[in-house]
Amino acid sequence: MQNLGIRVLFMGNNFARLLGGLWITIRISLIAVALSIVFGILLGMLMTVKNPITKALTKIYLEFIRIMPQLVLLFLVFFGLTKSFGINLSGEVSAVIVFTLWGTAEMGDLVRGALISIPKHQYESGAAIGLTKWQVYCYIIIPQILARLVPLAINLTTRMIKTTSLVALIGVVEVLKVAQQIIEANRYTVPDSALWIYGTIFFLYFFACWPISLVAKRLEKKWKTA
């Protein structure tokens, strides 16, 4: 045990620090995902409006976000805003903004797809019993698209959790950064710690994403049979 790199994990409060880093990763992703779902549904509804201007604007937004690597967006928000406008955002806030922008675009496109897959007579029957447009969405359309969206949204969530590792590059000390710090600090005493620490991170990511998939599977089942 003395010679194994794994002992680094139990030195000092290293493991607790890793968990702390993981919490930052998860906090950024969860806030971004929650915001993305809300804004994504709104964006998706906006994308189905038959108006050339909204159509063009949403399309530009979607393509812009999709083509841009997330890292460039992070730099743009974190460094760009500060340099050009003097707006000073913390790394974590910048990360939440970028991931929300990205998530909203992806989610919006998913919602758009789900919305146009709902047949027209669903909207008509809602209107026919005297519902407002808003009520038709709330009571009839959104419950149906939710069921179709769950697997796609979960996929997006796990992708977001994974992509947050990029935020280390704008100075947010999340789980990967903590790992690097631990490895560097023990470079001379425990030279083979990298494998163990990164291995641990593998499991941390796994146990962060796995429950989400499980929940998704359950929701999907529940909403299908009901």
Partner 1 sequence: MEPIIRVENISKTFQANNGQVEAVKNISFSIEKGDIFGIIGLSGAGKSTLVRCLNLLEKQSEGNIYIDGKNLMKLSSKELRKQRQDIGMIFQHFNLLMQRNVVDNICFPLEIAGVGRKQAKKRALELLETVGLTEKARAYPAQLSGGQKQRVAIARVLANNPKILLCDEATSALDPQTTKSILNLLKEINQKYGITIVVITHEMAVVREICSKVAVLDHGRLVEEGTVEALFGAPKTEEAKQLILNTYA
The residues that touch partner 1, with contacts defined as CB under 8 A, are 119, 121-122, 124-125, 127-132, 135, 139-140, 143-144, 223, 225-226
Quick one: which of 45, 34, 28 has its CA closest to 175? 28
Q: Identity (one letter) of the amino acid at 127?
A: A
Distance in Å, CB of 119 to partner 1, minimum? 7
Distance in Å, CB of 212 to partner 1, minimum? 23
Distance of alpha carbon 55 from the chain centroid: 25
Q: Identity (one letter) of the amino acid at 4?
A: L
Distance in Å, CB of 143 to partner 1, minimum? 6
- Whole-angstrom distance, CA of residue 44 vs CA of residue 105: 9
Q: Name the residue nearer to partner 1 (CB basis): 26 or 127.
A: 127
Q: Name the residue nearer to partner 1 (CB basis): 13 or 125.
A: 125
Rounded to whole angstroms, what are the CA distances from 52 to 39, 47, 48? Answer: 21, 10, 11
Q: Name the residue nearer to partner 1 (CB basis): 30 or 142.
A: 142
Q: Name the residue nearer to partner 1 (CB basis): 71 or 219.
A: 219
Distance in Å, CB of 147 to partner 1, minimum? 9
Distance in Å, CB of 117 to partner 1, minimum? 14
Q: Name the residue nearer to partner 1 (CB basis): 2 or 225.
A: 225
> Which H or E element spans position 130?
none
Residue bearing tokens 């959104």: 142
The alpha carbons of the chain give a radius of gyration, in whole angstroms, of 22
- Whole-angstrom distance, CA of residue 224 vs CA of residue 206: 27
